[in-house]
Amino acid sequence: MAVSLDDLTTGGTIRRMTRWTEPVMHRQTRPVTAFDEELHTLIRDMFATMEVAEGVGLASTQVGVDLAVFIYECPDEDFKIHKGVVCNPEVELPTGKQRQLHAADEGCLSWPGAYQLLSRPDRAVCRGVDANGDPVEIVGTGLLARCLQHETDHLKGIVFGDRLSSRARRQLDERHEELRHLYPDDWPLSPKA
């Protein structure tokens, strides 16, 4: 029986946020092949975790699961909030004259507290399937375009720090170290200090 998005965004259990130093964050994920209660429980837990961590997107690797699924609740360039689930995502980015880069501070719940300027295309189309295995396509602009790229990267074993210059990555890591004491090892199970 198909499950609704509303059902998937409530009733979850908060999970610990995986950090960039953990191996699951640097491996390609397994494709989703079973659209069952186990997947739906994971998605509910991801929504609960993202909400308490105050994020706009969350990949399964960020809760320690190597499955190709991410969730989002994120505004576009017009501040309209989009919410959903994408399994087995592929992102298409503009090319040629259509490609416009936008530089903005980017952060990651798995490297909490640190932000760094990163240029990404200002538009992205993400295709995959939803929690029921039905095809989905999200056209993202503004922060939503960045979110779709960021979360899909996670599922390919890429953290946004991998996209920075060596100098920018050092600055990001230094800022993370300065603020790390605010985030307990089991954050967000334990609140930020």
- Which tokens belong to 133? 């295995």
Identify the active-site residue in 151, 174, 177, 178: 151
Q: Which residue matches tokens 């190597």?
A: 66
Tell me the average pLDDT across 133-140.
Answer: 98
1 pLDDT higher than 90 = no
- Which tokens belong to 25? 């964050």
Q: Which CATH superfamily is domain 5-182 in?
A: Peptide deformylase (3.90.45.10)
- Which tokens belong to 149? 């790229």
SS3 74: strand
Beta bridge partners, 91, equal 126
d(CA 139, CA 148): 9
pTM: 0.96
pLDDT in tens, 141-184: 999 999 999 999 999 999 999 999 999 999 999 999 999 999 99
77 belongs to the catalytic site: no
Q: Which H/E stretch holds residue 119?
A: strand 115-121
Tell me the average pLDDT across 49-56.
Answer: 98
pLDDT in tens, 58-74: 999 999 999 999 999 99
- pLDDT level of residue 99 (50, 70, 90 thresholds): very high
Q: Angle at Cα 55 formed by Cα 52 and Cα 58, nearest 5°? A: 100
d(CA 174, CA 169): 9
Contacts of 23 (CB under 8 A, 6+ apart): none
